[in-house]
Amino acid sequence: MRFSVNRLSTKKCGTVLCIILGISLIAGEAFAWQRNISRSGPQGNTVSRSINTARTGDGYTRSSTVQGPQGRSITRTGQGSWDPQTQSWTRTRTVTGPQGASRSKEVTASRSANGYTRQSTLTGPQGNTATRSASGQWDPTTQTWTKSVTTQRGN
């Protein structure tokens, strides 16, 4: 599928890509932080969330646990990293639900001459997969942004 997007959307896409790649290029000491949040509703139900994030030499790691009413919890873990050799950003995330079922997603994005490429794979609780490949190109002559997306569901 190909289509053109107005210049404002192009600026947004370019800005987001620059921010993602820029964060990964920030040099400095690795550091970590933790945040704990608890909320109680009008009927006494309480939800708490614990988030742990750490910056690494080439990206970040993050984990969070949400504890809901009746002791049910959802855990999310993820990491992102910049590979200077391939000039690409990779992000992985796994979510485990209250009954132990997990799903994961891996995304790799890289910049091309006049745009970007992005590959993602989603794996469901039973091992089913779906992939998505996207690329975007900016044509300075016509001042249009062209995006191509292909999706495929596996087993």
Helix, strand, or coil (residue 143): coil
User: What distances in angstroms separate CA 21 from CA 29, 30, 107, one per listed residue?
Assistant: 18, 17, 14
* Cβ-contact 102, 125 below 8 angstroms: yes
With beta carbons less than 8 A apart as the criterion, state whether 96 and 74 touch: yes
Each residue's pLDDT tens digit, 47-73: 999 999 999 989 999 999 999 888 889
In the block, tokens 């949400």 appear at: 66
Structure tokens at 155: 């087993």
* Whole-number pLDDT of residue 86: 86
Global pTM reads 0.70
Whole-angstrom distance, CA of residue 30 vs CA of residue 71: 34
Q: pLDDT tens digits, residue range 113-136? A: 889 999 999 999 999 999 999 999
